[in-house]
Amino acid sequence: MDILSTLYPWIKSIHVIAVISWMAGMLYLPRLFVYHVETNPDHINLDETLVRWEFLLIKRIINPAMAVTWIAGLLMVFTPGIIDFSAGWIWVKFLMVFLMSGFHGFLSKQRKLLAAGERPYSGKQYRMLNEVPTVLMVIIVIMVIARPF
């Protein structure tokens, strides 16, 4: 029996745990950015605290969770008989995951800008950007669970 087929339930479990962790961070980081840009930049202690929280969230939770999500996801893709590549849903899911990964990169860049003292967006704009991972997540879940096409 193929090793990936044998390990599939474990790989899928790890994938779901990693996705939950990744999404928790992706939903929380833009909220931290809102707090960051809406604080007085002269309030050094609070600004430094937010920079530290943002850094730790990216480095200790979001980045590792994304890496594990991708690794486990690719292992599932390569497991024989699991994915029907002629189905449309899988391609929509792949596109949404690539967009989520791109948004992850965007948030990483924003964290660096904020740490450097720049404030490229307003609190309102970060609130709106906070909806991006939610929309992508909803589409991904629908594609995986309902497989509408």
pLDDT at 146 over 70: yes
Binding-site residues from annotation for heme: 15, 93
Q: What is the pLDDT of residues 53-96, one digit of tens each?
A: 999 999 999 999 999 999 999 999 999 999 999 999 999 999 99
Mean pLDDT of the chain: 95
Give the CATH number for residue 11: 1.20.120
Predicted pLDDT of residue 40: 81
pLDDT at 42 over 90: no
Binding-site residues from annotation: 15, 93
State the Cα–Cα distance between residues 68 and 45, nearest whole angstrom: 34
Q: How many domains does the chain have?
A: 1
With tokens 């970060």, the residue in question is 126
Q: Which amino acid is at 10?
A: W
Q: What is the pLDDT of residues 130-142, one digit of tens each?
A: 999 999 999 999 9
> Looking at residues 31-56, what average pLDDT do you find?
90
145 or 40: which leads in pLDDT: 145
Predicted pLDDT of residue 77: 95
Domain region containing 132: 3-145
Instruction: Find all residues with CB under 8 Å of 50, minimum gap 6, and list them.
Output: 32, 35, 36, 39, 114
Kindly list the distances between the CA atom of residue 77 and the CA atoms of 5, 8, 40, in Å, as whole numbers in the listed order.
Answer: 11, 10, 47
